Amino acid sequence: MLDPEGRILAEAVFTQQEEHARFGGVVPEIAARAHLARLPGLVRRVLEEAGLGVADLGGVAATAGPGLIGGLVVGASYGKGLAMGAGLPFLGVNHLEAHALTARLPGLFPEPPAYPYLLLLLSGGHCQCVAVEGLGRYRRLGTTLDDAVGEAFDKAAKLMGLPWPGGPHLERLAATGDARAVPLPRPLLGRVGCDFSFSGLKTAVAQAVGKGFAHADIAASFQASVAAVLADRARHAHAMLPDATALVVAGGVAANQAVRAALAAATPLHLLAPPLRLCTDNAVMVAWAGLERLRAGQRDPMDLAPRPRWPLDELAVPH
Ligand code: ATP
Ligand code: FE
């Protein structure tokens, strides 16, 4: 929950990780049911924490896509119900746009980045580089040709027997290994443009495991390869948007210290990494994107349909 300026009044996240971990990944049906079970309590908690009632709100924003349809339908319907019941405007937010705008949250950085800036979205479901040119104006400069980078971390971790989600476990293991011990490919390194590819790296990890390399060495070498590739892609992205004011990272992989260090050194741009709780999926960023659109005059219809697929460059510019 945000105040009219965008300052955080209260926030809560219910992570479903434990419910999904024993299946080794997100199970759509479990996700939808958990949304339904948890959402009313979460909203009540946040209102209590802020000392406000629904009638005090100026609008309700909910994620309307892209993603698993079950959770989207539950969240968007709940948001619409809340808004309709209290006669408030409703906004269906694109969750990628919310990631893109998080860095502009007031108070997060001494200066919010001015448009245009570069966004590297590095999560379990997405790996893309975006030119953020204004509210609703996003140009995708590159994307992954196969796996998302978080997915690559998770698959590599699984090959080494680490629990899901594997990213944080792999980073911890890598700290005890030698990053030069295992020769691994660096896909698309040096290639013009800003696309990504990780499936070859995953195959190479599988082979290294088969050959009996120490898992800590494989983890360290894998992480070094990913960091080097991301840094190289960031350099090429900067060449595609030379007047960028900053390089912003979002998504769970932005938690990785080796990745952060490589990105900070990759370009002369200031690296802006929001705190981790705002890098991974969260309601604060959705409220902020909603607030920006509300201020721009947008109101979404109550029959707005959630979209499982909703690329950033198909977003409308509010006017
Ligand atoms: P999306 O929101 O794009 O649909 P998602 O919900 O999977 O995808 P996030 O919650 O932003 O995305 O990120 C989760 C991913 O981040 C997982 O793949 C996880 O392994 C990875 N991750 C988290 N911490 C680290 C870390 N320290 N190092 C590497 N990867 C990490
Ligand atoms: Fe996300």
Is 90 inside any structural domain?
Answer: yes
pLDDT at site 140: 96
125 is in an annotated binding site: yes
Is 1 inside any structural domain?
Answer: no
Could you tell me if the CB of 280 is within 6 A of ligand 1?
yes
Is 108 inside any structural domain?
Answer: no
Q: Ligand 2 center to residue 211 CA distance, Å?
A: 35
Q: Ligand 2 center to residue 91 CA distance, Å?
A: 18
Percent of all residues in the chain with a pLDDT value above 70, rounded to a whole number: 100
Per-residue pLDDT tens for 288-312?
A: 999 999 999 999 999 999 999 999 9
Identify the residue with better confidence: 27 or 80: 80
105 is in an annotated binding site: no
121 is in an annotated binding site: yes
- Helix boundaries (H) for 212-282: 215-240, 257-266, 276-279
Is 4 inside any structural domain?
Answer: no
Percent of all residues in the chain with a pLDDT value above 90, rounded to a whole number: 91
Cα dihedral 99, 100, 105, 109 sign = positive
Indicate the pLDDT class of residue 26, thresholds 50, 70 and 90: confident
Q: Which ligand has the nearest atom to the CA of 123?
A: 1
Residue span of the structural domain in which 296 resides: 17-99+280-316
| Contacts (Cβ under 8 Å, ≥6 apart) of 19 | 27, 30, 34
- Verify that 126 and 269 share a domain, yes or no: yes
82 is in an annotated binding site: no
- Verify that 119 and 252 share a domain, yes or no: yes
Is the pLDDT assigned to residue 18 strictly greater than 90? Answer: no
What is the ipTM metric for this complex? 0.98
- Verify that 157 and 247 share a domain, yes or no: yes
Is the pLDDT assigned to residue 319 strictly greater than 90? Answer: no
Is the pLDDT assigned to residue 318 strictly greater than 90? Answer: no
- Verify that 45 and 193 share a domain, yes or no: no
Q: Which ligand has the nearest atom to the CA of 174?
A: 1
- Verify that 210 and 312 share a domain, yes or no: no
Indicate the pLDDT class of residue 78, thresholds 50, 70 and 90: very high
Is the pLDDT assigned to residue 198 strictly greater than 90? Answer: yes
Going by C-alpha positions, the residue among 180, 179, 178, 198 that lies closest to residue 188 is 198
Q: Ligand 1 center to residue 254 CA distance, Å?
A: 8
Q: How far is CA 104 from CA 59, 139, 223, in A?
A: 20, 18, 29
Is 12 inside any structural domain?
Answer: no
pLDDT at site 16: 77
CATH assignment at residue 252: 3.30.420.40
pLDDT at site 19: 80
Per-residue pLDDT tens for 242-299?
A: 999 999 999 999 999 999 999 999 999 999 999 999 999 999 999 999 999 999 999 9
Indicate the pLDDT class of residue 23, thresholds 50, 70 and 90: confident
Q: Ligand 1 center to residue 47 CA distance, Å?
A: 28
Indicate the pLDDT class of residue 189, thresholds 50, 70 and 90: very high
Is residue 1 within 8 A of residue 43, CB to CB? The reply is no
- Helix boundaries (H) for the chain: 17-21, 28-50, 69-86, 95-101, 149-159, 167-174, 199-211, 215-240, 257-266, 276-279, 283-295
Q: Which of 32-36, 220-224, 259-263 has the lowest mean pLDDT?
A: 32-36
> Which residue out of 19, 95, 123 has the highest number of ligand 1 atoms within 8 Å of its CB and is therefore the one to mutate?
123
Q: Ligand 2 center to residue 293 CA distance, Å?
A: 19
Per-residue pLDDT tens for 92-143?
A: 999 999 999 999 999 999 999 999 999 999 999 999 999 999 999 999 999 9
Could you tell me if the CB of 20 is within 6 A of ligand 1?
no
- Verify that 53 and 182 share a domain, yes or no: no
Could you tell me if the CB of 167 is within 6 A of ligand 1?
yes
Is the pLDDT assigned to residue 68 strictly greater than 80? Answer: yes
Q: How many domains in the chain?
A: 2
Q: Ligand 2 center to residue 95 CA distance, Å?
A: 6
- Verify that 126 and 242 share a domain, yes or no: yes
Is 109 inside any structural domain?
Answer: no
Which two tokens mark 253? 């992989």
Is 2 inside any structural domain?
Answer: no
- Verify that 26 and 135 share a domain, yes or no: no
- Verify that 296 and 267 share a domain, yes or no: no
> Which residue out of 281, 284, 307 has the highest number of ligand 1 atoms within 8 Å of its CB and is therefore the one to mutate?
281
Q: Ligand 2 center to residue 67 CA distance, Å?
A: 9
Indicate the pLDDT class of residue 25, thresholds 50, 70 and 90: confident
142 is in an annotated binding site: no
- Verify that 234 and 284 share a domain, yes or no: no
Could you tell me if the CB of 251 is within 6 A of ligand 1?
yes
- Verify that 233 and 288 share a domain, yes or no: no
Indicate the pLDDT class of residue 27, thresholds 50, 70 and 90: confident
Is 6 inside any structural domain?
Answer: no
Is residue 216 within 8 A of residue 173, CB to CB? The reply is yes
- Verify that 147 and 202 share a domain, yes or no: yes
pLDDT at site 175: 98
Is residue 104 within 8 A of residue 135, CB to CB? The reply is no
Could you tell me if the CB of 126 is within 6 A of ligand 1?
yes
> Which residue out of 93, 280, 285 has the highest number of ligand 1 atoms within 8 Å of its CB and is therefore the one to mutate?
280
